[in-house]
Structure 1
Amino acid sequence: MEQVGAARELVLGYVHALNAIDEAMRAAIPSLERLADVLGLVRSRRIISRNGYVGTYSYKVHGAGCRFVSYDGTEVDVDFAADGSEVFDLWRLRLYGLSLPEPVDVTDEDLWTAVRSLQPLLTEVRPGWFSVAN
């Protein structure tokens, strides 16, 4: 049960970190209405480059998402759904946990249990992919 508690804290930490990144990015780039808009700003090549620094984060846009790394090395990788919502899977949650200053390594089974316990805060938007509910 202790591992499920650690997994639950990891998931909540990821959501908190994602919210902090969203705030920092929107404060630094006023034209950003939501985090997913970073894809359009990169693709237009006029506003921001594919990778760089914003505030205390480095970022690298990839495919349908972006990886953010904070000054302490914590990684938050997120994809964006067609509607612009932020989506993540168990792999991204594990990556986040392992990148923490004091790494947290939990099993996929414990992460599944944690994610399910956090509904309705989290919604499974497609098999194995989750989003924070509006």
Structure 2
Amino acid sequence: MERVEAARDLVLGYVHALNEIDEAMRAAIPSLERLADVVGLARSRRISRSDHSGTYSYKVHGAGCRFMSDDGTEVDVDFAADGSEVFDLWRLRGYGLSLPEPLDVTDQELPSAVRSLQPLLIEVRPGWFGVAN
């Protein structure tokens, strides 16, 4: 597979994993209306800052959360002020390296992959991306 295609598949895989995590976490914690609520619930001590819930473990940090599936795949995401999920190239690369068959993409391949996925993805601020509504 061409390297840029591999990077594009990695980005799509990250977005898909984020959607799966959202569904699984909302099923496991009924008070979640959206994934970003994990941070607020942890800050208010209604849930632990790190725990295992459903098929994922999670660890709240700063403005986001790192989720790890049972197979070791990691999805690290930050949340914007409006609660939307945002990510940068570092988080995408970390996701790729954590896959059962790690995929290491370069700093040149990821930006091209992200740009090729517009308008599905939007740049919310320089170097940070989100999924368009």
So what's the TM-score if we normalise by structure 2?
A: 0.98
Deviation per CA, 1:107-130: give whole Å up to 9, x if none.
111100000000010000000000
- 1:19 to partner: Cα distance: 0.3
Q: Does 1:11 align with 2:28?
A: no
CA RMSD of aligned residues (A): 0.8
Partner of 2:48: 49
- 1:31 to partner: Cα distance: 1.0
% identical aligned pairs: 84
Q: Which residue type is aligned with residue 108 of structure 1?
A: D
After superposition, where does 1:97-112 map in structure 2 within 5 Å?
97-112=96-111
Distance in 2, Cα, partners of 1:106 & 1:39: 29
In structure 1, the gaps of 5 or more residues are none
Partner of 1:58: 57
Partner of 2:34: 34
Deviation per CA, 1:56-106: give whole Å up to 9, x if none.
111000000000000000000000001100000000000000000000000
Give the ranges of 4+ consecutive aligned residues of structure 1 lying more than 2 Å apart after TM superposition.
none
Distance in 2, Cα, partners of 1:75 & 1:108: 19
Distance in 2, Cα, partners of 1:108 & 1:14: 16
* Corresponding residue SS for 2:13: helix
Q: Which residue type is aligned with residue 13 of structure 1?
A: G
Distance in 2, Cα, partners of 1:34 & 1:108: 31
* Corresponding residue SS for 1:101: coil
So what's the TM-score if we normalise by structure 1?
A: 0.98
Distance in 1, Cα, partners of 2:107 & 2:33: 33
Partner of 1:126: 125
